[in-house]
Amino acid sequence: MSQNSIVVANGTGAAVRTALNNALDSLSCDFSGASEPGTTWALMKWADTTNNILKIRNLANTAWISFMDLTTGDILTNAATATTATNVYMPIKVFNNLAVQVPNGLYVRIIADYISLFNASYLTVVVKSINVIVDITAVGADGLDSGSMAANTWYSIWVIYNKTTETTAAIISLNASSPVLPSGYTYFARVGWARTTSSANQLRHMDQFGGKVNYLFDSGMYVIASGAAGTYSSTTPVWVTANLNNFIPSTAREANTVTYNNYEGGALSNVIVAPNNYYAGIASATGNIPPLYLNSSHAAIIKTSFGLETYGDSRLLYWVSSAAGGAIYCTGWEDNL
């Protein structure tokens, strides 16, 4: 450790050589020491041995920027200090060929070429060749993070990483942002959602690639709303809501639906569907006609994706059905990963 001056004054040959050696020693160890160097300049480096952080002087030569943890090698990404998240730059979540599968309702499988994960200080690791399975009957790594499973409940899906043992695992959690991490696991990233059925130990079957999720309908489709609803009018319909909370998670940015006007053989229906209730009827003189319309003159079915205009607990579509045959099904969602 050395914090010698790098200014070499005129002198005898031996004195100059000693000054040069001292200056090179300080440069070679990044002015390492328990306190900052007495003389500083813009962009100089200092190995702070008290906090084990490599720091860089800012351009104005007024403060230190914490750059690297000298114990772990983690990059501290523009934090003013290593202990605060103020002004921390959080890198974009990166993944490639992410797939999440719930093939039989008893486990969740996560596969990816790589995924970037973060810890509580927003430090990043990229984990490669992920192939992990969550057993919903277990608790801890590769299981539920804590507690016990509940029926008709959303569970967030996480890839987690233990940097000390270089172990990748997965968990599911009731928490959408801060799962309970098993001991030693400090890096995590949410990769999806799953929902239990009326049985606490059974998940809805689904298949996900990237952020696109499709339900697998082995026991019938999921009906969001059906029957007569609202008041149909070609100019001024009276809209009613169709709640999506049981069919898509809180982070979904798009709902994938199928609309039918002859549901279970019911009377053919005029059906209109929209993402909000500001739309008028199909013959509106103002031109704000609804994005989906099925005519009662013949049976029809149409698949549509609706960008969601609310975020969080209130996920709604608006619809009108003139007769018993109207219905909206949910086929999946697009997640905001």
Could you tell me if 324 and 226 lie in one domain?
yes
Could you tell me if 189 and 261 lie in one domain?
no
* CB 162 within 8 Å of CB 154: no
Could you tell me if 203 and 226 lie in one domain?
no
Average pLDDT, stretch 168-195? 95
Average pLDDT, stretch 256-265? 94
Kindly report the CATH number assigned to the domain that includes residue 266.
2.60.120
Could you tell me if 275 and 319 lie in one domain?
yes
Distant-in-sequence, close-in-space partners of 260: CB < 8 Å, separation ≥ 6: 271, 294, 299, 300, 301, 325, 326, 327, 329
Could you tell me if 180 and 250 lie in one domain?
no
Please name which of 213, 256, 259, 243 lies closest in space to residue 310, comparing C-alpha atoms: 243
With a cut of 50, say whether residue 78 has pLDDT above it. no
On whether residue 191 sits in a domain, the answer given is yes
With a cut of 90, say whether residue 212 has pLDDT above it. yes
Q: How many helices (H) and strands (E) does the chain have?
A: 1, 22
Could you tell me if 232 and 174 lie in one domain?
no
Percent above pLDDT 70 for the chain: 86
Could you tell me if 115 and 25 lie in one domain?
no
On whether residue 55 sits in a domain, the answer given is yes
Percent above pLDDT 90 for the chain: 55
With a cut of 50, say whether residue 89 has pLDDT above it. no
With a cut of 60, say whether residue 110 has pLDDT above it. yes
On whether residue 1 sits in a domain, the answer given is no
On whether residue 216 sits in a domain, the answer given is no
On whether residue 84 sits in a domain, the answer given is no
On whether residue 254 sits in a domain, the answer given is yes
Q: CA-to-CA distance for 329 and 332, rounded, in angstroms?
A: 9
Confidence band for 84, pLDDT divided at 50, 70 and 90: very low
Could you tell me if 259 and 329 lie in one domain?
yes
Q: Give per-residue pLDDT as tens, 17-50.
A: 776 766 666 566 677 788 888 888 888 888 888 8
Among the three residues 142, 176, 210, which one is the final residue of a domain in this structure?
A: 210
Residue 7 has a pLDDT of 64
Could you tell me if 154 and 71 lie in one domain?
no
Q: Which of residues 272 and 308 earns the better pLDDT score? A: 272
Could you tell me if 226 and 139 lie in one domain?
no
Tokens of 97: 């060929």
Among the three residues 182, 210, 238, which one is the final residue of a domain in this structure?
A: 210
Could you tell me if 257 and 283 lie in one domain?
yes
Helix, strand, coil percentages in the chain from 3-state DSSP, rounded to 5: 5, 40, 55
pTM for the predicted model, two decimal places: 0.74
Domain count, the chain: 3
On whether residue 90 sits in a domain, the answer given is no
| Phi, psi angles (nearest 5°) of residue 246 | -85, 0
On whether residue 89 sits in a domain, the answer given is no
| Structural domain harbouring 311 | 222-335
Please name which of 269, 258, 323 lies closest in space to residue 294, comparing C-alpha atoms: 269
DSSP 282: T
With a cut of 70, say whether residue 2 has pLDDT above it. no
Could you tell me if 226 and 321 lie in one domain?
yes
Among the three residues 210, 235, 258, which one is the final residue of a domain in this structure?
A: 210
